[in-house]
Amino acid sequence: MSSAETPHEAGGHQGSLAKLAAGAVGIVFGDIGTSPIYAFRETFAGHHTLVPDSLHVYGVLSLIFWSMMIIVTLKYVTLIMRADNHGEGGSLALLALYTREGGSFRWSKGVILLGVFATALFYGDSMITPAISVLSAVEGLTTVNAGLSSFVIPIAVAILVGLFSIQKFGTTGIARFFAPFMLVYFVTLAVLGASHIPDHWPVLYEMLNPYNAVRFFLLEPTRAFFALGSVVLAVTGAEALYADMGHFGRNPIRVSWLFFVMPALLLNYLGQGALILSYDRFEATQLVQNPFFYLAPDMLRLPLVLLATCATIIASQAVITGAFSVTQQAIQLGFVPRLRIEHTSEEAAGQIYIPLVNWVLLVAVIVLVLSFRSSSNLASAYGIAVTGAMLIDTVLIAVVLLFLWKWKRRYVLPLLALFFAVDLLYFGANLLKVPDGGWFPLLIGAIAFTLLTTWSRGRKLLIQRMKKDVLPVDLFLKSATKSAARVPGTAVFLTTATDGVPPSLLHNIKHNKVLHERTFLLTVKIADQPYWPNDDRAEVTAYSDGFYRVILRYGFMEDVHIPRALGNLKGCGPVCKMMDTSFFLGRQTLLPSKSNAMAGPREKLFAWMLRNSESAMTFFKLPPNRVVELGSQVQI
């Protein structure tokens, strides 16, 4: 029961800039913040090894620096974060913004499908991120004692099982420690890196020199192209800055990135590079197997492993929470069937838990850890979903800049050319990973994309089919109100249509031959903005004989609570009390159809999703003892 609505302004963020910026460090930057654990290592010791000499170290450091500047700082922090949907970011929010303002263009369908595919790729990323992050941190134990290598997999699996198992209890209690802990973590990154820069001072200015990246490509173009597949690991999580913008606002995230997170990351990468170059080639080849942990002296290496493990748990928590949030948005926007959503905090509306998503993610993550068995092998699967989503974001922002905002082309086109060139290089480099594991996020993305588009298409066809049988309200009132007995109380008939009489009411008249003294024809609409103001939530139209049409509007980030909304209704008689109210729901069963509207397998898939979707009673928070379901059979 959703459709796009005209937007209203969303509320602002509460708190000082410094407080919000500190909070953003704990939530937003976990993914990109844990990249130093494995990104530099994978570039040299991954599946396409590089000799750890000055040519390659300077080239890789330069690539990391300019990738951060172009992809994270310029593209996401400076440009894309301008394209918010009433404060919210992310692919779905950007898609909702585009649909509202530019949905009439002839290529709108293609743009929308791209946005949906970016969302689908997120699910693949949300499976790999916890696996590679936790596994890479636990592998640090081997730098403390090589004999602990056999314990890495069991410890990583135990941590991940524990992490997913506590999701149902909510994270409000521990979330307050995220920001202080991550502040300590980033300070540690900076201190460890800075302490090794004196080992090889030239790294300090060689990283900033773009010629080192260019020289790498000129002298060894094939190896440099392969290296991009690992270098991109240093900027994974950039899209999270945009997706999590609604929690903190763009300015706190920008301040955190520019003045704290980016300097800490760059210092750590500089330290890793200086450490490698301060040894001869033989020793450097040994150190490059895990340079992050070798930044710490022997006596502090175990504490660093524990610190990094906690940081990866926090990063994984952010990804899991993001998966819940994206799924809730997709449900509200009509791309996913209703699922059971539990609220884990009375104060924080965004603290939700979706059991199905949680356990599917856990199974996938455990399978990944047990199948790939090392973070280096997982790195082969990591990156393609991220770079694919980044490329799609560039397409979407190009449409926004050129056709919605109508920026001058002489300024926009060179900038877009730079973004597309960088994104295509990284995406192409990661395509080489497909045989070694890159197929996994693409497979997950394809499955998610099929599910999202099948539900969206089938739902639209189902609504269109049901509208054909709608009886006009005035005709119904003339005939039915005189022939049916009136009984006390209030009846609420839920319907997707905003005109006509819903089939559930017609069935009730046909079988029970009664009408309540007050009847609401209720439609819930989900707007293409995150939140809808409470004082404008309900639209009431009064008919004769105690009939009212009620339209309730919610933002796609909001929880739909029909009893609460009905209790606040005005202009339609006495206050609506649940003990005097009956809710009538329609339950459709799909019958096979000879129509070509949907291909046979997709129609069967939609029918399966329809059967297994969460009951409207639970989803809309209706009291179970006040609900009547009336079934019907439909062909689409």
Residue 456 lies in a domain: no
> Does residue 169 share a domain with residue 128?
yes
pLDDT at 214 over 90: yes
* Whether 187 and 129 share a structural domain: yes
Does any domain span residue 411?
A: yes
Residue type for position 517: E
Instruction: Give dist(CA 375, CA 382) in Å, integer.
Output: 10
Residues 161 and 292 placed together within one structural domain of the fold: yes
Q: Are residues 301 and 359 in the same domain?
A: yes
430 in Cβ contact with 383 (< 8 Å): yes
Residues 443-483 have pLDDT tens digits of 999 999 999 999 999 888 888 877 776 788 888 888 777 77
Whether 13 is covered by a domain: the verdict is no
Structure tokens at 288: 């490059």
Instruction: Please tell me the distance from the alpha carbon of residue 206 to that of residue 330, in angstroms, as a whole number.
Output: 45
Q: What is the mean pLDDT of residues 230-245?
A: 86
* Same domain assignment for residues 235 and 370: yes
Query: Is the domain of 525 the same as that of 583?
Result: yes
Q: How confident is the model at residue 497 (pLDDT cuts 50, 70, 90)?
A: confident
Residues 362 and 263 in one domain: yes
Contacts of 67 (CB under 8 A, 6+ apart): 231, 232, 234, 235, 422, 426
Q: Which of 421, 437, 453 is the last residue of a domain?
A: 437
Q: Which residue has the higher pLDDT, 47 or 566?
A: 566
Confidence of residue 349 (pLDDT cuts 50, 70, 90): low
Which of 70-74, 145-149, 380-384, 629-633 shows the lowest mean pLDDT across its residues?
629-633
DSSP string covering 339-371: ---EE--SS-TT-EE-HHHHHHHHHHHHHHHHH
pLDDT band at 106, cuts 50/70/90?
low
For residue 11, name the pLDDT band (cuts at 50, 70, 90): very low
Of 284 and 306, which is predicted with more confidence? 306
Residue 541 lies inside a defined structural domain of this protein: yes
Q: Last residue of some domain: 437, 452, 478?
A: 437
Residues 476 and 407 in one domain: no
Q: Please tell me the predicted confidence (pLDDT) of residue 37.
A: 93
Single out the residue of 314, 47, 69, 311 nearest to residue 209, CA to CA: 69
pLDDT tops 80 at residue 390: yes
Give the model's confidence band at 342: pLDDT under 50 very low, under 70 low, under 90 confident, else very high. Answer: confident
Per residue in 25-61, pLDDT (tens digit) is 887 888 899 999 999 999 998 778 899 999 999 999 9
**Within a domain: residue 235?**
yes
| DSSP 3-state percent helix, strand, coil across the chain (nearest 5) | 65, 10, 25
Confidence bin at 273 (pLDDT 50/70/90): very high
- Asked whether the beta carbons of 81 and 250 are under 8 A apart, the reply is yes
Residues 65 and 117 in one domain: yes
Please check whether residue 14 lies inside any domain of the structure.
no
Q: With bands split at pLDDT 50, 70 and 90, how would you rate the model's confidence at 162?
A: very high
With bands split at pLDDT 50, 70 and 90, how would you rate the model's confidence at 102? low
pLDDT at 4: 36
Question: Is the confidence at residue 94, as pLDDT, over 80?
Answer: no
Domain that holds residue 572: 465-635
Residue 246 lies in a domain: yes
CATH number at residue 377: 1.20.1740.10
Residue 157: the pLDDT is: 95
User: Total domain count for the chain?
Assistant: 2
Q: How would residue 319 be classed by pLDDT, with cut points 50, 70 and 90?
A: confident
Both structure tokens of 622: 């209706």
Domain-located, residue 241: yes
Computed over every residue of the chain, the mean pLDDT equals 86
Helix/strand/coil (H/E/C) assignment for every residue in 492-534? EEECCCCCCECHHHHHHHHHHCEEEEEEEEEEEEECCCCCCCH
Judgement on whether residues 422 and 551 belong to the same structural domain of the protein: no
